[in-house]
Structure 1
Amino acid sequence: MAETPPSVLARETLKLLAARRMVPTPENFQTLYHEVSGQAPATAAAFPQTQLAQIHSVLPGQTAAQKRLLEQFKSAVAAQSWAMLQNTLVGYANLGLKTVEVAAANAGPEARAQSLPATLAEQIARLVENTLPALGEDDTRILQMARELAQHLRQPQVSATALEPLLNNFAYRLSFATEDQAGVRAALAQLLQLVFENIALLSPDDQWMQGQAQALQQASTPPLSLRRLNEVQQRLKDVIGKQAEARDRELQAQAQMKELLALFIDRLSKMDASSSAHHAQLEQCAARIGHATQLHEITPLLEEVMSAVRAMALQSKVAAGELHDLRERTDATHVQIVQLRQALKDASTQARHDPLTGTLNRKGMEEALSREVARARRNDAPLCVALLDLDNFKALNDRLGHATGDAALKHLVDTTRTVMRPQDQLARYGGEEFVIVMPDTQVAEAVQAMQRLQRELTTRYFLANRERVLITFSAGVAQMQAHEDSSGALERADRAMYLAKQSGKNRVLAA
Structure 2
Amino acid sequence: MNQPKNPSVIAREALKRLAASHLPPTPANYQASYNQIADLPNVAPFPDVPLRQIAGLLAARNDTQVQQLIRLDEAIGRRSWLGVQEAVLAFVGAGNAGGGKDDAEPVALQVLPLELLAKLASFVENVLPALGADNDRVGELAAALLQALRQAPVDLAEIQSRLASLGQQALFAAEEQVEIKDSLLNLLRLIIENVGELSLDDSWLKGQVDGLLAVVQPPLTLRHLDDMGRRLRDVMVKQSEAKHRSLEAQEEMRQMLAAFIERLAAINESSTVFQGKIEASARAIANVKRIEDLAPLLNDVITATRSMAEGTSDSRLQLQSLQERVLATEAELVQLHLELDNASALARHDPLTDALNRKGLDEALAREIAGMWRKGTALSICLLDIDNFKRLNDRLGHDVGDHALVHLTRVARQCMRPSDTLARYGGEEFVILMPDTVLEQGIEAMTRLQRELTKAFFLSGKEKVLITFSAGVAQLSPDETGSDAIRRADQAMYAAKRAGKNRVVGG
- Note whether the superposition's TM-score is higher than 0.5: yes
2:475 equivalent to 1:479 = yes
1:207-356 alignment runs, 5 A limit: 207-356=203-352
- 1:30-53 per-residue CA deviation (whole Å, 9 max, x = no partner) reads xxxxxxxxxxxxxxxxxxxxxxxx
Contact (CA 8 Å) 2:382, 2:433: kept in 1 or not?
A: yes
Distance in 1, matches of 2:258 and 2:151, equals 84
SS of corresponding position for 2:133: coil
Contact (CA 8 Å) 2:382, 2:432: kept in 1 or not?
A: yes
2:177 equivalent to 1:177 = no
Q: Which gives a bigger RCO, structure 1 or 2 (Cα 8 Å, sep 6+)?
A: 2
Distance in 2, matches of 1:407 and 1:108, equals 65
Cα–Cα, structure 1 residues 181 and 483, in superposed 2: closer, same or farther, change >3 Å? farther
1:461-500 alignment runs, 5 A limit: 461-500=457-496
2:391 equivalent to 1:395 = yes
Letter in 1 for 2:305: V
SS of corresponding position for 1:349: coil
**1:201 corresponds to:** 197
Letter in 1 for 2:286: G
Letter in 2 for 1:443: L
Q: Aligned-pair distance for 1:397? A: 1.2
The structure 2 residue matched to 1:411, chosen from 407, 411, 422, is 407
Letter in 2 for 1:456: E
Q: Aligned-pair distance for 1:421? A: 1.5
Letter in 1 for 2:294: I
Cα–Cα, structure 1 residues 375 and 261, in superposed 2: closer, same or farther, change >3 Å? same
Letter in 2 for 1:459: K
SS of corresponding position for 1:386: strand
Cα–Cα, structure 1 residues 237 and 331, in superposed 2: closer, same or farther, change >3 Å? same
SS of corresponding position for 2:464: strand
**1:458 corresponds to:** 454
Cα–Cα, structure 1 residues 492 and 462, in superposed 2: closer, same or farther, change >3 Å? same
Moved more, 465-474 or 207-216: 207-216
**1:357 corresponds to:** 353
- 1:221-271 per-residue CA deviation (whole Å, 9 max, x = no partner) reads 443221111111111110111111111111111111111111111111111
Cα–Cα, structure 1 residues 504 and 214, in superposed 2: closer, same or farther, change >3 Å? closer
- Same amino acid, percent of matched pairs: 46
Q: Aligned-pair distance for 1:138? A: 3.6
Distance in 1, matches of 2:155 and 2:505, equals 50
Distance in 2, matches of 1:154 and 1:200, equals 55
Where does the alignment leave 5 or more consecutive residues of structure 2 unmatched?
Answer: 1-99
RMSD after superposition: 2.7
Cα–Cα, structure 1 residues 129 and 483, in superposed 2: closer, same or farther, change >3 Å? farther
TM-score by length of 1: 0.73
Letter in 1 for 2:187: L
Q: Aligned-pair distance for 1:341? A: 0.6
TM-score by length of 2: 0.74
Cα–Cα, structure 1 residues 400 and 201, in superposed 2: closer, same or farther, change >3 Å? closer
Cα–Cα, structure 1 residues 460 and 183, in superposed 2: closer, same or farther, change >3 Å? closer
Cα–Cα, structure 1 residues 372 and 282, in superposed 2: closer, same or farther, change >3 Å? same
**1:449 corresponds to:** 445
Q: Aligned-pair distance for 1:283? A: 0.8
Letter in 2 for 1:299: A
Distance in 2, matches of 1:373 and 1:283, equals 89
Moved more, 281-290 or 375-384: 375-384
Distance in 2, matches of 1:117 and 1:361, equals 54
Q: Aligned-pair distance for 1:129? A: 3.6
SS of corresponding position for 2:472: strand
Q: Aligned-pair distance for 1:427? A: 0.9
Q: Aligned-pair distance for 1:314? A: 0.8
Contact (CA 8 Å) 2:132, 2:173: kept in 1 or not?
A: no
Cα–Cα, structure 1 residues 416 and 160, in superposed 2: closer, same or farther, change >3 Å? farther
Contact (CA 8 Å) 2:205, 2:341: kept in 1 or not?
A: no
Q: Aligned-pair distance for 1:120? A: 6.8
Aligned length in residues = 405
Contact (CA 8 Å) 1:429, 1:435: kept in 2 or not?
A: yes
- 1:76-116 per-residue CA deviation (whole Å, 9 max, x = no partner) reads xxxxxxxxxxxxxxxxxxxxxxxxxxxxxxx9755579769
Q: Aligned-pair distance for 1:208? A: 4.0
Contact (CA 8 Å) 2:381, 2:432: kept in 1 or not?
A: yes
Distance in 1, matches of 2:151 and 2:408, equals 55
Q: Aligned-pair distance for 1:197? A: 3.1
Contact (CA 8 Å) 1:352, 1:361: kept in 2 or not?
A: yes
Distance in 2, matches of 1:329 and 1:268, equals 17
**2:79 corresponds to:** none
Letter in 1 for 2:261: I
**1:187 corresponds to:** 183
SS of corresponding position for 2:312: helix
Structure with larger Rg: 1
SS of corresponding position for 1:357: coil
Letter in 2 for 1:143: G
2:413 equivalent to 1:426 = no
1:90-129 alignment runs, 5 A limit: 111=104, 118=113, 125=121, 127-129=123-125
**2:15 corresponds to:** none
Where does the alignment leave 5 or more consecutive residues of structure 1 unmatched?
Answer: 1-106
Letter in 2 for 1:507: R
Distance in 2, matches of 1:454 and 1:214, equals 29
- 1:472-508 per-residue CA deviation (whole Å, 9 max, x = no partner) reads 1111112222253322221221121121112221111
Distance in 1, matches of 2:496 and 2:112, equals 48
Q: Aligned-pair distance for 1:318? A: 0.8
